[in-house]
Chain A
Amino acid sequence: MQRTGNVLRVHFADRKGTFLAPLIVLGIVVIVIGLIGAVATATGTDREALWEGMQYNGAVWALLGMGIGIGFATMGQHLSFALGMGITRREWVIGSGLMFVIMAASITAIVVIGKIIELATSGWGMGVRMFDTVHTGTGPWWQTAIQTFLIALAGMCFCAMIGSVWNRWGKTGLSWLGGVALILLVLVFGIGIIAPWEQVLRLLETLMGFGWGVWMSVLAGSTVVSAIVWAILTRRAEVR
């Protein structure tokens, strides 16, 4: 337990950078959204139309995207430092996994609190929104909580997994990973181009028709797979 605490100490030693940075990012985004709302109000834009349109506002990704940085830094910067301090890879994965959960929960708390305020004030009094959007869910708060938590956690686990490929096989590993991703993309787009449009549209409709629960299960499954692959690769990862 104390050794897991050591890993958390590595991650949270820079408290300002860890916890203040998301709040600064959030502050900047809120200011920008506020300015948009002020301009919209000043120019007499229809508030309902603005509210409707802003459900696609992707500003919340400024917060969610932090998971990407956290995942990469965990393997790219912190691992070498931690191993030098005598922490084992197993301890590193357990402690960092716990850190991912704490950070995803923190991001979730910000988004959910933001959403509750946003809904209570009818879009910050200006009809604008950034938390109650399709990206983190426009359903009840608990759906937003689950969706946000899973997106943030998936980002961290996936990027830590890519980082572990780098630690394990260096540039060669990343090249292989890029190659596989490229082949998959070509296959998907190739099928999209070759197959009759009706079939492609029907497939998209079927995919879009899946309920929220199915999509969340897919997201949760991807997160678990990423986390497992990350843990396995890290067991033999070397410092670069």
Chain B
Amino acid sequence: MTTVIQTRNVSKRYKAVAAVDDLSIEFEEHRIHGLLGRNGAGKTTLMQLLTGQLFATSGQISVFGEEPVENADVLRRVCFIQEGQVYPDGFTPEHVLTVARGIHAGWDEETARYLVDVFELPTDRKIKKLSRGQLSAIGIIVGIASRAELTFFDEPYLGLDAVARKNFYDELLRDFSEHPRTIVISSHHIDEIAPLLETVTVIDSGKLMMRHEVEDLADAASSFSGTRAAIDEFAEYVDVLERTDVGGLSTIVVRGTVPRPVLERASELKLERQPASLQDLFVALTESARHERRARQNV
């Protein structure tokens, strides 16, 4: 499978803060990739670096085999739907669609008009008078209708209600299946978006925490529940990412594949085992990283 995006030890620093820290990742073509992380994890900065909006402090970035910064050959194949995009004063959604139609070679006007109907977007109203959800709808319409070879959606659904979010997932998947291309989505609604994704990349404090095929996630982490005493003993055999105690019951999220003898011990302790959901894994990983950072600070 061809690699569309490749970064090698990329960092973006703002004085003492590293928004992206020594990050090496790859995204393959014709797949939907999830880029997950907490607020301030570096997702938007990474996307801005990949689309040449920001300059990396160090490291190498390759998009379609070339450095994206100031590279018209690369950027003409890319569409970036940015969270909180600022639109020029006086613009209406129709103006945005007019510009996008002229810029993106693969633009599909029929799809754009269909999506305007789906999201009930008032195309002639000034953008500054639109709701947050309607603003998100503009980005979603441009992102899907542009049919760019590489599309970045940065938190594309902010302000959208549950119905509109479902419409987004459905329409993106429908269009993607008819016109395969590479899509990178950052999101907070992890379990909602999980069925769309083929790979998941989790970053925290600008660093790569995890990169997995979604279908292999069952091997990435599992959740065990049981009595507190049983969990106390079991926790000694496994790599615990997160633990929750409620009354006499406890649940732990365990990293990686659990060896057969340890699983047998779990059975003996009458622990209930479930594959960790993407949301559980994400929360466990980021919380674990936070505790480690805090512990380091206290040393």
Contacts and interface: CB of A to CB of B under 8 A. Distances in A.
Contact of B75 (A9, A17, A88): A88
Task: Give the size category of A's interface with B.
Answer: 20 to 34
Interface in A10-55: 10, 13-14, 16-17
B103 A85 contact: yes
A13 B78 contact: no
A90 interface: yes
A73 B102 contact: no
Main secondary structure of the interface of A (DSSP, over half): helix
Contact of B82 (A3, A5, A84, A86): A84
Nearest to B152: A84
Interface stretch (B92-100, B156-164, B251-259, B283-291): B92-100
B80 interface: yes
A116 interface: no
Contact of A14 (B77, B80, B88, B100): B88
Interface string B260-275: 0000000000000000
Contact of B48 (A3, A89, A239): A239
A77 interface: yes
A88 B55 CA distance: 13
Contacts of A81: 85-88, 99
A81 B148 CA distance: 16
A31 to B, nearest CB: 23
Chain B at the A interface: SS class: loop
Given A3-B72, A14-B88, A81-B87, A86 B79 contact: yes
A10 B103 CA distance: 9
Interface string A228-240: 0000000110110
A70 B53 CA distance: 22
A146 interface: no
B103 A73 contact: no
B70 interface: yes
Interface residues of B, number: 34
Interface string B80-124: 111001111111100110111011100000000000000000000
A74 to B, nearest CB: 9
Given A88-B75, A236-B55, A238-B53, A80 B86 contact: yes
Given A14-B90, A77-B86, A87 B103 contact: yes
Given A238-B53, A239-B54, A86 B90 contact: no
B158 to A, nearest CB: 16
B70 A9 contact: no
B71 interface: yes
7 contacts: A14-B90, A78-B88, A80-B53, A81-B85, A81-B86, A85-B99, A91-B72
Given A87-B75, A239-B48, 12 more contacts: A6-B102, A9-B99, A13-B98, A17-B89, A80-B86, A81-B85, A86-B75, A86-B80, A86-B103, A86-B104, A238-B53, A239-B53
Which are the 9 A-B pairs with shortest beta-carbon distances?
A17-B90, A86-B75, A13-B95, A77-B88, A239-B53, A9-B102, A14-B90, A88-B70, A84-B80
